[in-house]
Amino acid sequence: MTTTQTSTITAENILRLFPQVNTTLIGAARNTTSSDNDLEGYDEEQIRLMDEVCIVLDEDDMPIGSASKKICHLMENIDKGLLHRAFSVFLFDFQNRLLLQQRASEKITFPDMWTNTCCSHPLGIPGETGVGLDASVQGVRRAAQRKLDHELGIQASQVPLEKFDFLTRIHYKSASDGKWGEHEIDYILFIRANVNLSVNPNEVQDTRYVSQSELKEMFEDKSLKFTPWFKLICQGMLFEWWDHLDSGLEKYTGEKEIRRML
User: Which residues have CB under 8 Å from 225's CB, separation 6+?
Assistant: 112, 113, 114
- What is the DSSP track for 45-87? HHHHHTTSEEEEE-TTS-EEEEEEHHHHHBHHHHTTT--EEEE
> Please, which residues have CB within 8 angstroms of residue 65's CB and are 6 or more apart in sequence?
15, 21, 22, 23, 24, 25, 28, 56, 124
CA angle 194-122-69, nearest 5°?
Answer: 125
Tell me whether residue 54 is one of the annotated catalytic residues. no
Catalytic pick among 128, 151, 182, 184 = 184
List the catalytic residue out of 119, 128, 182, 203: 119
Note if 119 is an active site residue. Answer: yes
Cα–Cα distance for residue pair 229/110, rounded to 1 Å: 11
Task: From 4, 125, 128, 9, select the one nearest 64 (Cα to Cα).
Answer: 9
- Rounded CA-CA distance 172/84 in Å is 11
Per-residue burial over 218-244, b = 16 or more CB atoms within 10 Å of its CB, e = otherwise: eeeeeeeebbbbbbbbbeebbeebbee
Residues identified as active-site: 119, 184
